[in-house]
Amino acid sequence: MIYQRSSELFVETQNYIPGGVNSPVRAFKSVGGTPIFVKEAKGAYLYDEDGRKYIDYINSWGPMLLGHAFQPVVDAVIEKTKKGTSFGTPTEIETEIAKLAVSMVPNIDKIRFVNSGTEACMSAVRLARGFTGREKIIKFRGCYHGHSDSFLIAAGSGLSTFGVPSSPGVTKGTAQDTLLADFNNIDSVKALFEANKNEIACIIIEPVAGNMGCVPPVNNFLQELRELCDANGALLIFDEVMTGFRLAKGGAQELFGIKADIVCFGKVIGGGLPVGAFAARNEIMDYLAPVGPVYQAGTLSGNPLAMAAGLAMLQAINNDVELFNRLEEKTAYLEKGMRDVLTKNNIDFTINRVGSMISVFFDNREIYDFKTAGYGDTQRFKDFFHGLLKEGIYIAPSSYETWFITDALSYEDLDFTIAKVDKITSEF
């Protein structure tokens, strides 16, 4: 059996770790089969415990924009480790990375580092509530902002995959303060503002949704949200955990020219170590403890190894003027190649893409929100996924997930992938 060692490890780990994984999507529940256990990775490739090699289109769910074991990150972490791994005191490197992040991202004066995207979004919402003195928030069906209670309501990806609309353990009280709107539907947002006058602290949104597959904003949606927030005294939070430092140096704010009040980061900002961050202009950030009244803290926040990895990553992105052009060209090449072969093979499909975020749905209707993201043929997706996996191509194990393209991919890798997409779908 080709996944022999992975299967054995998966059987054993289920005795000790719920479902054998420390994050549900890794279990391949929606596509079935055994998750591959990865032993090591370099550049664009993963190597599993059975000695198989894969071209990686997940890239640790986003962080590996520049490839696995990226040398400057590896070197920075090794050097830092020799000097002690955590002090619980301020360190100079925190200022260095903060300064750099603030210089790269528009509309932010200060940034605070945390340990995950969940923490970043959870803290951003608390800050918005503290700043506005209001309690309700608006989120969009199909958007995921981490597993904090207020967000586990129509939360996309892992939860959609499992068909669980929300999670037991989230109280009714908490759920009541999260109002749901539809992505790309400005009327659904207007109606919530009208029904909850002066009660809405913020809108939180993935500016390009990546947790219902890749779903771009259309028809000036983000600009209209900005205007609605301004008219109603609410803050606009961009959850740029996926899009930050990926779609542009300054993320979606830069790409779309829209100003957010608070921006959340994760994934790329940590270079593969556990890092998240949230940032805003001074007026808002100075509401945070110890300057202001909104409490937020973390024993390992700003950890030196994590900061070293993040700093090396951001420096590499900041210094490479061609990076985002290359990412665009590579992903556009993959998109065109897949479009051509899927069309040739008479497959119903829709491909959504923004920069280096891309996803394939097996349905030919437009995919623009959570409902339409559910149109895809799930059996077909399973066959597609397992077909590619066998051929040594690792894509996200659910059509509700986005592929994350890395600059480490070569055009040979892309041609190989397109040829395999052709082979597999010609047999559908």
Residue 373 binds ligand PMP, judged by CB under 6 A: no
Dihedral of CA atoms 205, 207, 213, 219 in degrees, nearest 10, equals 110
> Given its phi and psi angles, is residue 294 left (phi above 0), alpha (psi -120 to 50 degrees) or beta?
beta
Name the β-bridge partners of 358: 353, 403
To the query of whether residue 239 is one of the catalytic residues in this protein, the response is yes
The C-alpha atoms of residue 247 and residue 255 are separated, in whole angstroms, by 7
**Based on CB atoms, which residue is closest to ligand PMP, 118 or 417?**
118
Q: Shortest gap between Cβ of 266 and ligand PMP (angstroms)?
A: 4
376: nearest Cα among 389, 387, 388, 360? 360
To the query of whether residue 420 is one of the catalytic residues in this protein, the response is no
* Catalytic, out of 45, 144, 287, 368: 144
Q: H or E stretch including 287? A: none
Contact criterion met (CB below 8 Å) for 44 and 406: yes
* Catalytic, out of 136, 267, 382, 420: 267
Q: Shortest gap between Cβ of 119 and ligand PMP (angstroms)?
A: 7
Name the β-bridge partners of 180: 139
Scan residues 35-94 and list those touching ligand PMP (CB under 6 A).
61
**Based on CB atoms, which residue is closest to ligand PMP, 24 or 337?**
24
**Based on CB atoms, which residue is closest to ligand PMP, 115 or 372?**
115
According to DSSP, the β-strands at 136-140 and 403-404 are: unpaired
Phi, psi at 317, each rounded to 5°: -70, -45
Report which residue's Cβ sits closest to ligand PMP.
117
* Catalytic, out of 48, 56, 177, 239: 239
Residue 139 binds ligand PMP, judged by CB under 6 A: no
Scan residues 198-227 and list those touching ligand PMP (CB under 6 A).
206, 210-211
Q: Shortest gap between Cβ of 123 and ligand PMP (angstroms)?
A: 12
According to DSSP, the β-strands at 53-56 and 45-48 are: antiparallel
The C-alpha atoms of residue 208 and residue 140 are separated, in whole angstroms, by 12
**Residue 166 gets which letter from DSSP?**
B
Of 38-46, 143-151, 250-258, 390-398, the window that binds ligand PMP (rule: CB under 6 A) is: 143-151
The C-alpha atoms of residue 278 and residue 296 are separated, in whole angstroms, by 11
Residue 232 binds ligand PMP, judged by CB under 6 A: no
Scan residues 238-267 and list those touching ligand PMP (CB under 6 A).
239, 241-242, 266
**Based on CB atoms, which residue is closest to ligand PMP, 210 or 376?**
210
The C-alpha atoms of residue 271 and residue 313 are separated, in whole angstroms, by 5
Of 30-38, 42-50, 138-146, 306-314, the window that binds ligand PMP (rule: CB under 6 A) is: 138-146
Residue 136 binds ligand PMP, judged by CB under 6 A: no
Question: Who's near 89: CB < 8 A, 6+ residues apart?
Answer: none
**Based on CB atoms, which residue is closest to ligand PMP, 98 or 242?**
242
Residue 252's CB is within 10 A of a number of other CB atoms, namely 27
Residue 270 CA to its chain's centroid (Å): 13
Name the β-bridge partners of 41: 46
Q: Shortest gap between Cβ of 196 and ligand PMP (angstroms)?
A: 24
Q: Shortest gap between Cβ of 194 and ligand PMP (angstroms)?
A: 27
Q: Per-residue contact track with ligand PMP, 115 to 134, x per CB under 6 A? A: -xxx--x-------------
Q: H or E stretch including 103? A: helix 92-104
Binding site for ligand PMP (CB under 6 A): 61, 116-118, 121, 144-146, 206, 210-211, 239, 241-242, 266, 276
The catalytic residues are 144, 239, 267
